[in-house]
Amino acid sequence: MLAMTAITLETLREKLKEWKGCDLQKTANPVLGEGNPQATIMFIGEAPGQKEDEQGRPFVGAAGQFLDELLSSIGLSRADVYISNVVKYRPPENRDPLPIEKEQCEPWLMLEIALIQPRVIVPLGKHALGNFFTKLSISTAHGQAQKLTDAVTIFPIFHPAAALHNGGLRQTLYDDFTALKKFLTESNIPIARSPLAADR
Ligand code: URA
């Protein structure tokens, strides 16, 4: 898709604007991830909603506000982490992304992961979790570290929007963020790498 020389998040963002590989592009604006390029923790949601589509930024609507609160509850802010989505465009009426849309958008997510090189990936909800483990259910796997490789751990958490519809999930999300913090501390994972540690 792209020449593999000197790819940066900025070049990725520019290339995504020109891309025509997913039909959702006909009705929505591209939304790439954003955040700290040195982050060790990467959050992955499902797909942009209306506010994200309008502003071209991930998680800036109601679910994003709750995500900010959850991050703050463990002493983090969005500036510390990297936040992205499986699908790079808003599906019509915020419907679930189709398997083909997830497949078409996947290379962008993989390039973001390759650039950020996170140590911990937090899939928010079943669509993002399915990218890494097809047989794990978010209902049973949430709040528990799942080893992907020696270098990368997947730490699934329910999607913040789920708690906006089902208030009973709010506390579960807070508890899972606390478990994430504990995992980071016990694994000695810093919030960000030193800018000098990697040439990205
Ligand atoms: N829900 C998502 O999955 N992603 C966003 O960016 C916003 C809401």
47-91 pLDDT, tens digit per residue, is 999 999 999 999 999 999 999 999 999 999 999 999 999 999 999
Residue 129 has pLDDT above 90, yes or no: yes
Residue 200 has pLDDT above 50, yes or no: no
> What domain range includes position 158?
4-187
Q: Give the three-state DSSP class for 142.
A: coil
Q: Distance, CA 195 to ligand 1 centroid (Å)?
A: 28
Q: Is residue 194 part of a domain?
A: no
pLDDT attached to residue 199: 41
Report the atom number in ligand 1 closest to the C-alpha of 86.
3
Q: Is residue 158 part of a domain?
A: yes
Q: What is the DSSP string of 59-91?
A: S-SHHHHHHHHHHHHTT--GGGSEEEESSSSPP
Q: What is the mean pLDDT of residues 110-121?
A: 98
Which residue's alpha carbon is nearest to atom 7 within ligand 1?
59
pLDDT attached to residue 2: 55
Mutation probe of ligand 1 site: the residue of 34, 59, 129 with most atoms within 8 A of C-beta? 59
**Structure pTM?**
0.94
Q: Is residue 193 part of a domain?
A: no
Q: Are 7 and 115 in contact (CB under 8 A)?
A: yes
Which of 105, 109, 78 has its CA nearest to residue 91?
105
Q: Is the CB of 128 under 6 A from ligand 1?
A: no
pLDDT attached to residue 194: 78
Size (the chain), residues: 200
Q: Are 125 and 159 in contact (CB under 8 A)?
A: yes
Q: Is residue 53 part of a domain?
A: yes
At position 176, the amino acid (one-letter code) is D
Q: What is the mean pLDDT of residues 39-53?
A: 98
Q: Distance, CA 47 to ligand 1 centroid (Å)?
A: 5
- Select the more confidently predicted residue: 76 or 193: 76
Under DSSP, the state recorded for 131 is: T
Number of domains observed in the structure of the chain: 1
Q: Is residue 196 part of a domain?
A: no
Whichever domain contains 19, its CATH number is: 3.40.470.10
Q: Is residue 197 part of a domain?
A: no
> Which residues, 6 or more positions from 4, have their beta carbon under 8 angstroms from its beta carbon?
none
- Select the more confidently predicted residue: 33 or 2: 33
